[in-house]
Every structure is written in structure tokens, then in C-alpha cells.
A = this chain, B = another copy of it.
């Protein structure tokens, strides 16, 4: 910032109008792509804009038309977890791609696992964003209800709370996807199939566990080996140890996220167990974590990037006043690699 004070002020609509010899209204129209402008005027004004390097003032625009052109990305999650899981990377990647063609900017709102700060609340509810994208929410996230009542919101993953029954969201059929994953282990001939589950206060946690249970019941196998993690690598390792201690005859494990599976794999190696020889491992996500380690994870693929993109597109549609599908359920599939 070599010359903070010597910068000359940015050109205004007024100046462009003067340059082009038209009224401010007209310039505003061309800036906003109105069709009500004659070709000649359009050209003249365009040239003036070009010449002066005019960029509309966001604040003035917002004040006049009551749109902020900002979207909040709300993450009710600890920073560490948010950044620690490649799954989020994919979602956010998709979101930024989906927002790219629009004029909206993305405001990052790390809410913390419990509830957001008063400052964040005021920001979100105070008309500072036109809409919000919520990723990774827990059942305890009460505050989201009030958000949902104030501005358009699109969730990544089915909201759990009753108050959010009419919410927009994009998700996969977690139960069916998990069942499909466990079916694969069953087809491999495994008999003692455990699960390292996700948190019981998150839909993705609950539903994947439900899928595991359902598949085992269909196969007439016991569904008693479950240990809960929090989607982190260390929790995956912890759960794997616990499961191994509890059931030494274990021959397969369905893990609710690739990151947890990575932790589980390290414990398996530590104990000298071969994968999938002794124990087959099925992950979930198909995130970079699945292929980052020394053993390539067989896993249930969900299109995380696409999901992020769809979230953005749905919100954009809502903001345009359209009525997109309230629920978008995307496809999953098994990706077979080395671990099962």
C-alpha cells in the first residue's frame, strides 16, 4: 500500500454519463444489461465505461436496490475439522465454481461447533447477505432456523431439525449408499462386519449407520459392532482400536468417511493385519484421503464437487426468484481399489 492517500477516486456513474453525453439512468441501464437501450447509445456508453475503467460502486448499488450480492458460507464446525477434511475442500470447490458465473461473493462464516458469535448472528441476520449456504450442520444448531426464516438458505446434507423441514438441500441417499458399500463387503464373503460411524447428531452419521445395519440384516449377519467417530482421522484410529479389542474375529469394517478410514488403516498396519487379506476396509466419500495413503481405499463415491456446485446453483435460482427443486439427491457408486 505504497500510496494509500494519493489514489485518485474511482470514476462514478456520473462521470461516465458526462463522458458519453447521456443521463445517469442510461448508463445505469447499460451497466445492468437492460435491453431498453439503443445500439448506438450502448456503444457510446460502453466506450466511455471502457475509457474511464468504470467499476460500479457496490455499496451504492446495494443501498439503492437492496441487494448485497454477497452469500454467506456458514460452517458450524471447528476450523480444524473444516480444513482437515478433504470432503469440505471438494464442497467448497464446487460452490466457488457454481458461484463463478454470478456476481455474488462468498463470505466465510466459521460458526464454531456450538453456536455462532453474536457478531456472526448480527451479520447473517442483519441483511448483510442475500442468502446462505450451510455445510456440515449438527442437530444442535438451533440458530440455523432463524437464518432460514430470514434469507434463502441451501443446506449441504439433509437438515435434521424439525424447523428445517421445508429447507432446500442437496444430498445423497446416505443410507442406500452405505448399504451398497456394505453389500459389497458381504459379497466378498465377510461375516464380521463392523462400522466406524459418524457422529449421531449429523444426518450423514445417522443415515450411513442405518445403511450398514440394513445391509447386515438383509444378509442375516449381526449388526453389533459399532464405534462412533467424529469424521476425523484420529477418531477413526481410536475406533478401530476399540473394535479390534472388542472383536478380534473382525474381518471387515465399513467406515463412514475416508478420513476416518485412513486412521483405521494406520491402526490395522500397526497391528500387523493385512488389508484386505485379514480385514477389508470400505470407506465413504472418495475424497483425496482415499488415495493419499499407502493403500488405495475402496470406497463409496459421492460427487462432492458437484454437490457444492448444485448448492450454489440452487441458491442462485432462489435468489433470482425461481423455484428450483427443494431437494436434490445425487448419485453414488462404489469405487473399487485395494482395500476391499
Binding site for B on A (CB under 8 A): 1-4, 7, 10, 55-60, 62-63, 68, 70, 73, 79-80, 82-84, 86, 88-90, 92-93, 96, 100, 103, 105-108, 110, 117, 119, 122-123, 125-128, 148-153, 166, 233-234, 237, 263, 266-267, 269-270, 288, 291-294, 318
Distance (Å) between the CB of A224 and the closest chain B CB? 27
Report B-chain residues with C-beta under 8 Å of the C-beta of A1.
148-153, 318
Number of this chain's copies in the assembly equals 2
Query: Which one of A56, A63, A82 has the greatest number of beta carbons of chain B within 10 Å?
Result: A63
CB distance from A311 to the nearest CB of B (A): 15
Our pick among B4, B93, B108 for the contact of A152 (Cβ within 8 Å) is B4
Cα(A123)–Cα(B107), bound, Å:
13
A127 and B10 in contact, given A79-B93, A82-B89, A107-B105 (Cβ under 8 angstroms): yes
**Closest Cβ–Cβ distance, residue A144 to chain B (whole Å):** 12
- The reply to whether B269 and A294 contact each other, CB–CB distance below 8 Å, is yes
Chain B CB within 10 Å, residue with most, of A80, A270, A293:
A293
Bound together, the chains give a CA A256 to CA B166 distance in angstroms of 49
B127 touches A55 (CB 8 A): yes
Closest to A147 in B: B1
- Looking across the interface, which residue of chain B has its beta carbon closest to that of A68? B59
Sample (11) of A-B pairs whose CB atoms are under 8 Å apart: A1-B318, A2-B148, A2-B149, A10-B127, A55-B125, A73-B108, A79-B89, A83-B88, A96-B108, A234-B291, A234-B292
CB distance from A337 to the nearest CB of B (A): 14
State whether B89 touches A117 (Cβ < 8 A): no
Q: Which residue of B lies closest to A73 (CB)?
A: B108
Do A266 and B293 touch across chains, with their CB atoms under 8 A apart? yes
| A80-B89, A80-B93, A117-B100 known; A7-B150 Cβ under 8 A | yes
CA gap between A83 and B80 in the complex, in Å: 11
Provide the bound-state CA to CA distance between A294 and B79, in Å: 23
Is there contact, CB below 8 Å, between A126 and B93? no
